[in-house]
Amino acid sequence: MKVGLFIPCYVNAVYPQVGIASYKLLKSLGVDVDYPIDQTCCGQPMANAGFEKDAIDLVHRFDEKFKDYDYVVGPSASCVAFVRDNYGKLRPQPDHHCASEGKVYEICEFIHDVVKPEKLNAHFPHKVSLQNSCHGVRLLHLSSCSEQNVPYFNKMRDLLSMVDGIEVLEPERSDECCGFGGMFSVEESAVSVQMAHDKVHRHIATGAEYITGADSSCLMNQQGLINKEKLPIKTIHIVEILAAGL
């Protein structure tokens, strides 16, 4: 199988180490992975802000860039969820089938459900607290959610359990929003800051050294609060842990 690595624009611009770790991790698992040059934004910010028509050109470009791959894999639950759930509606032409939405995966989802490794060659001797992002939980089903009466599961935790030396913890109200929510954090900044404050302090209460999750955006929001309040915890994307030592 041939995989196209989708690196969201904010990861490319602000957290390039997450993109590098994603590539290394997939290669280490024997995946035939390629990074299409000249990628651009998937269109989520514009569409979420109400400018769906302005996002359509980006949708066309994304679909063209990734049309020849068996899978499209990216380290961002929210961006992957946007492609999967919205591209078909944004490209409704009768003669066009949007291929991307049917083959796009968040990287933890892809490794857990498609690659299914029995072990990982990673070492991370630290305590980490799991950040379950809203898109990851409720749209991609990376973990069970508290409002449903279903057995507990967490695909991120399953993968982290293969990492040598790690101790995985979860905060109280583990699937509650951290307050980012894209445009929400801009339009309702006071509420967003309080939500981030509450979330980070619940992570700290676990005794963890790091907060980890599948969305750099959520981690960025919490790292901002951590820096502002000078709190004794750090954030790290999950792929950086899964690729530690590669």
pLDDT per position as a tens digit, 114-144: 999 999 999 999 999 999 999 999 999 999 9
Cα-based distances in Å from 182 to 47, 73, 187, 190: 11, 21, 9, 14
Question: What is the tens place of the pLDDT at every residue in 183-227?
Answer: 787 788 899 899 999 999 999 999 999 999 999 999 999 999 999
Query: Which of 115, 119, 156 is CA-nearest to residue 30?
Result: 115
Domain membership flag for residue 121: no
State yes or no: pLDDT of 160 exceeds 60. Answer: yes
Query: Which of 75, 144, 86 is CA-nearest to residue 111?
Result: 75
Domain boundary among 65, 90, 115: 115
Residue 114 CB contacts under 8 Å (≥ 6 apart), including other chains? 71, 105
User: What CATH number did the domain enclosing 92 receive?
Assistant: 3.40.50
Given pLDDT bands bounded at 50, 70 and 90, which one contains residue 8? very high
Work out the end-to-end distance of the chain between its first and last CA atoms, rounded to an integer number of angstroms: 22
Q: What is the DSSP string of 27-89?
A: HHTT-EEE--TT----SHHHHHTT-HHHHHHHHHHHHHHHTT-SEEEES-HHHHHHHHHHHHH
Whether residue 86 is found in the same domain as residue 134:
no
Domain membership flag for residue 40: yes
Given pLDDT bands bounded at 50, 70 and 90, which one contains residue 93? low
Total domains in the chain come to: 2
Domain membership flag for residue 122: no
Q: How far apart (Å, rounded) are the C-alpha atoms in residues 195 and 177?
A: 7
* Distance from the Cα of residue 162 to its chain's centroid: 19
pTM (predicted TM-score): 0.92
For residue 72, what are the β-bridge partners? Answer: 4, 104
Domain span at residue 96? Answer: 2-115
Whether residue 102 is found in the same domain as residue 8:
yes
Q: φ and ψ at 143, to 5 degrees? A: -150, 165
Q: How far apart (Å, rounded) are the C-alpha atoms in residues 206 and 217?
A: 22
Domain boundary among 57, 89, 115: 115
Whether residue 162 is found in the same domain as residue 192:
yes
Domain boundary among 52, 87, 115: 115
